[in-house]
């Protein structure tokens, strides 16, 4: 802590180190970063003798941390955001601070209808409140909707062969309000049926006249009853998904996941966003040129699949904050664990399907398939 006589000798080392890199840091700023858990305290050394006090020195990692903090800190930058950003770039932020920042990101997630609702309120009451409020999230962001409309004007109606692949004769696409209610129920209760997933996929692509992938999801239980029975309850919900509020599960991951896994999933979340925005740019460029190519084909292939969902999620988050990235990181880690559990329950799943063009965003595909490959030897033994 700085004294009235100025910075300690240890703090002076850090201040001078920053100055050599043309960065201004004060003893007060160092203390603020330490109180926020962003910078470790100085390490006590031996006594100076004859009542002259004792020495201390900065931990070795403090020198790089001070430079990184000085470059990124500024007005409006919250300590949790700084912790997450430094973590993402590989700086040695204290682990407890990083985990607290991930938990804080989950704590900040507010569901539609959460205002004025007690945590102990029954799920049915919360759902009723949401239904009465009429709150809804955007199923199809404006940019995706514009792309869909431009492609539809050029291509016209879907081919008859594609329409025949949709076996649902009475489809029920979800409205934004219905989708919000389903999403909130799934988060709070951990339940989501195949019919609900199919309806949600239809609602995310309302302009399409046929939804083969949604149909495949909806009919899985009938087409493959033995395999479905291993992972499905009688009410059509998944048995491998955790019960209760999904946010509690994500908080648990923030506390228990390895730092390496958190960093890998953070980078994957960044790559998914980069891939989705680049795909949109490529599709729009092809539409501008009037030459429909690989990008439009990939857009159409993935529009009702997980890769398309990744695009829609990216476009909903126009301003991607460090807190948003932290939640995306934990969700990806959650997804990876669920695939690993499913792999244990249903050995021999047709995982190569995940590698097919358009099924998954490439960074997510690589994350999942790598995890499944690593678990395969233990399963076979």
- CA end-to-end distance (rounded Å), the chain: 57
SS3 121: coil
Do residues 31 and 139 both lie within one domain? no
- Judge whether 218 lies within some domain: yes
Do 320 and 249 form a contact (C-beta atoms < 8 A)?
A: no
Do residues 196 and 281 both lie within one domain? yes
Do residues 129 and 234 both lie within one domain? yes
Q: Supply the DSSP symbol for 158.
A: P
Which of 11-15, 163-167, 357-361 is predicted with the least confidence, judged by mean pLDDT? 163-167
- Judge whether 110 lies within some domain: no
- Judge whether 116 lies within some domain: no
- Would you list the DSSP string of 21-81? TT----HHHHHHHHHTTSSPPPEEEEE-STT--EEEE--THHHHHHHHHHHH--TT--HHH
- Judge whether 98 lies within some domain: no
* Mean pLDDT on 193-213: 74
Residue (of 102, 36, 100) closest to 262 by Cα position: 102
Q: How many CB atoms lie within 10 A of CB 87?
A: 24
- Judge whether 311 lies within some domain: yes
Taking the alpha carbons of 40, 45, 47, 52 in that order, is the dihedral positive or negative? Answer: negative
Q: For 82-103, what is each residue's pLDDT tens digit? A: 999 999 988 989 999 999 999 9
Maximum average pLDDT range among 17-21, 232-236, 339-343:
17-21
Q: Supply the DSSP symbol for 209.
A: S
Do residues 34 and 142 both lie within one domain? no
User: What tokens appear for 142 in the block?
Assistant: 């404006």
Q: For 232-266, what is each residue's pLDDT tens digit? A: 555 555 565 677 788 899 999 999 999 999 999 99
Do residues 66 and 155 both lie within one domain? no
Do residues 360 and 276 both lie within one domain? yes
- Phi and psi torsions of 238, nearest 5°: -85, 135
Number of domains in the chain: 2
- Judge whether 284 lies within some domain: yes
Strand partners, 47: 54
User: What tokens appear for 328 in the block?
Assistant: 């995306």
Give CA separation, 370 vs 305, 353, 358, 361, 367, in Å: 20, 14, 18, 14, 5
Nearest 5°: CA angle at 69, between 67 and 73? 135
Do residues 231 and 128 both lie within one domain? yes
- Phi and psi torsions of 225, nearest 5°: -60, -40
| CA 86 – CA 127 distance, rounded (Å) | 38
Report the length, in residues, of the chain. 381
Do residues 141 and 277 both lie within one domain? yes
Do residues 366 and 295 both lie within one domain? yes
- Judge whether 114 lies within some domain: no
- Judge whether 132 lies within some domain: yes
Do residues 290 and 167 both lie within one domain? yes
Do residues 263 and 173 both lie within one domain? yes
Do residues 371 and 246 both lie within one domain? yes
Band of the pLDDT at 118, cuts 50, 70, 90?
A: low
Domain span at 184: 123-380
């Amino acid at each position: 802590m700085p004294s009235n006589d100025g910075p300690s000798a240890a703090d002076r080392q850090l201040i001078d180190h920053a100055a050599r890199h043309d960065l201004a840091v004060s003893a007060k700023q160092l203390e603020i970063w330490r109180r926020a858990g962003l910078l470790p305290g100085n390490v006590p050394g031996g006594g100076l003798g004859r009542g002259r006090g004792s020495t201390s020195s900065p931990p070795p990692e403090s020198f790089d941390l001070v430079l990184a903090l000085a470059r990124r800190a500024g007005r409006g930058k919250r300590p949790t955001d700084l912790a997450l950003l430094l973590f993402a770039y590989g700086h040695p932020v204290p682990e407890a601070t990083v985990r607290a920042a991930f938990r804080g990101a989950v704590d900040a997630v507010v569901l539609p209808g959460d205002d004025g609702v007690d945590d102990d309120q029954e799920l049915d009451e919360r759902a009723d409140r949401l239904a009465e409020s009429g709150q809804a999230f955007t199923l199809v962001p404006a940019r995706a909707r514009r792309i869909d409309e431009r492609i539809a004007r050029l291509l016209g109606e879907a081919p008859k062969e594609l329409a025949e692949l949709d076996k649902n004769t009475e489809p029920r696409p979800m409205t934004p309000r219905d989708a919000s209610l389903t999403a909130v129920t799934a988060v709070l209760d951990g339940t989501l049926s195949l019919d609900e997933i199919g309806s949600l996929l239809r609602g995310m692509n309302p302009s399409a006249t046929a939804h083969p992938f949604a149909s495949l999801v909806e009919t899985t239980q009938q087409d493959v009853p033995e395999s479905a029975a291993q992972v499905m309850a009688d009410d059509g919900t998944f048995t491998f998904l955790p019960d209760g509020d999904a946010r509690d599960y994500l908080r648990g991951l923030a506390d228990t996941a390895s730092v390496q896994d958190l960093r890998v999933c953070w980078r994957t979340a960044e790559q998914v966003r980069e891939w989705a925005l680049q795909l949109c740019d490529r599709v729009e460029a092809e539409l501008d040129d009037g030459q429909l190519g690989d990008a439009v084909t990939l857009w159409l292939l993935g529009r009702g699949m997980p890769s398309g969902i990744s695009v829609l999620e990216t476009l909903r988050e126009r301003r991607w904050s460090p807190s948003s990235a932290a939640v995306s990181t934990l969700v990806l880690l959650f997804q990876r664990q669920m695939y690993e559990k499913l792999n244990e329950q249903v050995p021999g799943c047709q995982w190569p399907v995940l590698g097919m063009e358009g099924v998954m965003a490439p960074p997510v595909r690589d994350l999942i398939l790598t995890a499944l490959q690593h678990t395969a030897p233990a399963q076979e033994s």
